[in-house]
Amino acid sequence: MRNEKIFRGLILLEILLLAGFSVICVYKNKKVHCLSTAAAEAGEQTGEFIKWVDFQVSAEALGKAYEYDRDTYGQEVHLNWIELLAYTAARTGGDFSKESQVNAYLEEAAEELAGGKTMEELTEGMKYYSYYLEAYTAVLGGMVGEYEIQVPAETSAGQKEGGEETAEGSLVWEKRYGLKAFLPIAKNFPYSDYDDFGVSRSYGYRRKHLGHDMMGQVGTPIIAVESGYVEALGWNQYGGWRIGIRSFDRKRYYYYAHLRQGFPYALNLEEGSEVRAGDVIGYMGHTGYSTKEDVNNIDQTHLHFGIQLIFDESQKEGASEIWIDCYQIVRFLYRNRSECVRNDATKEWHRVYDMRE
């Protein structure tokens, strides 16, 4: 009996200690991993957020839907490219491999909407439309919209504002609507790639490749695809020198890895910095696969580029992370590349044409 009382007392003490530790963890230290654990437990109970996305939209479909959106901007019926893609996915089960079929569904939706139907009417009874709309909005939500960009004064056809003299000539601000996301490789710099998402990796432990490799030359300027905040900056034994940028809506986390030895980042870049789409954020290299910092252990110079989706903060790190195949997105973004020039004094590259959203 005495031993049983002692045993119960020890269990009670352990419970109290664990409860105390949890309170300290959240209240005193405010550690992100503690809050994430609580969020994960809450998410598992409610199940109110998307747990997985298999993004298979082709570059051709992205381009066609985008052009519908861009070309109808300002008209009575402005087509939304994400809605068009979600409608098509609901018709095909997310399969975009049959181009003629995909084009037919995109055209069908565009014609029906232009004829006066609403998307609610068009998708009535479609079981998975709302899922695809939420998932595709998380993937593409920050890529198209209104923005202003600097252009050479002699070529500007839009609304002009505040001329500026630069080494590249006189620039003016022009208001635009369209693609405001950029390819992660600067304009005029060569690269090669193929769809390598999911292939095997073995350094450290066997795992799948959850990104897209773009092979090029050491020092190639790396571009911020979308505007956001620098959430991670520094050394990782797998990614070498790397940058993680979170979109302003917090749905996307862009990961740029294996940056250049010795001079990996744009000057003055630090955690918490705000970057704009098109900014130079770093330089291509082949660092990584080492616990020691600033080591080149990657055989081939390349950028590892990844896109993580976050519907709930519990998905930011751990087993519930959602990384998508971004090869087709990269192909689509090739149409918008940031032009850069080199500062010979600092040996740093910077964008020619500034942008603001």
pLDDT in tens, 260-296: 999 999 998 999 999 999 999 999 999 999 999 999 9
Tell me the per-residue pLDDT of 158-170, one tens digit each, with 9 for 90 and over: 444 455 555 556 8
Which token pair is 262? 């010795």
What is the pLDDT at residue 201?
Answer: 64
**Distance between CA atoms of residues 61 and 71, nearest Å:** 15
Which residues, in sequence order, are CB contacts of 309 under 8 Å at separation 6+? 50, 53, 135, 138, 139, 251, 252, 253, 315, 322, 323, 324
- What is the biggest distance separating any 2 CA atoms in the chain, rounded to whole angstroms? 94
Reported as a pLDDT band with limits 50, 70 and 90, residue 222 is: very high
pLDDT at 7 over 90: no
pLDDT at 47 over 50: yes
Reported as a pLDDT band with limits 50, 70 and 90, residue 197 is: confident
> 């005193």: which residue's tokens?
28
Classify 205 as helix, strand or coil: coil
pLDDT at 18 over 60: no
Tell me the per-residue pLDDT of 56-96, one tens digit each, with 9 for 90 and over: 999 999 999 999 999 999 999 999 999 999 999 999 999 99
What is the pLDDT at residue 208?
Answer: 78
**Distance between CA atoms of residues 347 and 357, nearest Å:** 28
Q: Which of 341, 345, 354, 353 is nearest to 188 (CA)?
A: 341
Classify 100 as helix, strand or coil: helix
